[in-house]
Amino acid sequence: MTLDVLPDIPRELTGLAEWAACMIYVLLRQNRLRPTRLALLSAVALAVLVGVQVGAGMLPLGWWPVGMAASAACMYLFLYAATSAPVRDAGYFCARALVLAELVAALHWQIHCFFFLLGDAHPGDAHPGDAGLGGPARVLTFAVVYVAAFAIAYLVEARHFRPSQPLDVTGRDLASAAAIALVTFGMSNLSFLNASTPFSGRLGFEIFYIRTLVDLCGFVALYAQQGQRLQQHAKGELKAIDEILRSQHQQYLQSKRSIERVNRKYHDLKHQVGVIRAEVDPRKQESYLDELEATIKDVESQSKTGSSVLDVILTTKHLECVERGVDLTCVADGSLLGFMTVMDVSALLGNALDNAIEGASRVEDPQKRLVKMALFARDDLVVMTFENYFDGEVRTEGGQIVTRRGDRDRHGYGLKSIRYTAEKYGGSMTVRTDGGWFVVRLLIPVPRDFVRTEPTALEIS
């Protein structure tokens, strides 16, 4: 049996496979067109892709690469327009869609030829030269293979492409995907272009098998590439979060040392106040000394939450709020945090308060620069809420809140760090906006074997 007897895939089916492969990746994106616009664009894209393939089939064999390049360009434009994706992201999807389309089309045609076009398989069936889909059995086979193959491809790719997750495709990623697609496409079709190369097949039906196998290898290679990208991205995020955790812990240690020095100084001043009162008695000096003494008491009262870590964090953040004109109100039972490590407490509370203070400080009205924190127990849960009045602007990308600062490498992982720390203890984090307030709420289960000290509560305002 030779290629002269077994015809190649009809161009209409190739165009349909390319359209279906593009739709797989369009449906995997959250930022796609609205249903009505997407349906209209999809119908146009289907007609264009089928038309380009039919037109390419009329060209001489030497022009075959030009026709396929035109088809790939149409796939790229469809993906770019339907998903509003960046240029590199659309190219990355196009490379994957091209290989997937070739795989499904080749798989179907191999099955089709085996059951319907090989004369020795079914002598009474249509003659080998009949390449159409006429007949219920052929149409049913086509439908089953295409629907099953693309459904499986969707489920497989959905593991690596979350609708709300940005791709962040780099130039190197795009170049690698394009190289895999080009090599796969070239090797799978080499036997149809030139049978006189060391890598070409010469037996008719075996050429179909080789093409399907090469396309499958290409799809697996692209799948592995995306899995590696996700692993590298996850490692990068964990590294950034770990740096934030360590940074917050170092800030806590530095603040603790600073506050201890300040407290020693204030302790000495308390004794000096008595001496000054005995030696000098002007009314102005008396007023000054009363104010100084009140300040000392105010600072000392901030360190009685039941958690030395929380005491240091709240004292530091309170002083920062005073400098930035932010009003911090806190009701906290620090004894509830005894089951958490010092690093985790400092990272979680430090990041949450940093975000709240940063958001409140952006509000133009000084009367609305408010931050509220609460830490209390409810049933078997530790509940933490951080609320701040904000200017109403929340910047998101792919459904995730991102930093408004320009340095993305050093900022933007605050909420991720908070969520990571909460989930480390089996907890959860929710974020919402309510009437001008930005609210972060944490629920962390209390371990059964945890015995806390006598509960206390501190209110700072």
Q: Are 212 and 107 in contact, with CB atoms under 8 Å apart?
A: yes
DSSP 446: P
CB 56 within 8 A of CB 109: no
Q: How confident is the prediction for the chain on average, in pLDDT?
A: 78
Contact 334, 310 (CB under 8 A): yes
Q: At what angle do helices 87-112 and 11-27 cross, to 10 degrees?
A: 130
Residue 405's pLDDT is what? Answer: 47
Q: What is the pLDDT of residues 118-135, one digit of tens each?
A: 654 443 344 444 556 767
pLDDT in tens, 45-65: 999 999 999 988 787 867 777
Whether pLDDT at 396 is above 70: no
Question: Residue ranges per domain, the chain?
Answer: 11-238, 302-460
Which of 145-159, 276-290, 402-416, 441-455 is least confident? 402-416
CB-based contact 79:26 (threshold 8 Å): yes
Is residue 342 pLDDT above 60, yes or no?
A: yes
Which fold would CATH assign to domain 302-460? Heat Shock Protein 90 (3.30.565)
pLDDT at 412: 44
pLDDT at 305: 74
pLDDT over 60 (residue 136): yes
Q: Provide long-range contacts, Cβ within 8 A and 24+ apart, for 166-172.
A: 166/397, 166/398, 166/400, 167/85, 167/86, 167/89, 167/92, 168/233, 169/86, 169/88, 169/89, 169/91, 169/92, 170/88, 171/88
Which candidate, 303, 300, 313, 332, places its Cα nearest to that of 455? 332
Dump pLDDT digits (tens) for 171-222.
899 999 999 999 998 887 765 555 555 444 455 667 788 888 999 999 999 9
Reported as a single tens digit per residue, the pLDDT across 65-96 is 788 889 999 999 999 999 888 899 999 999 99
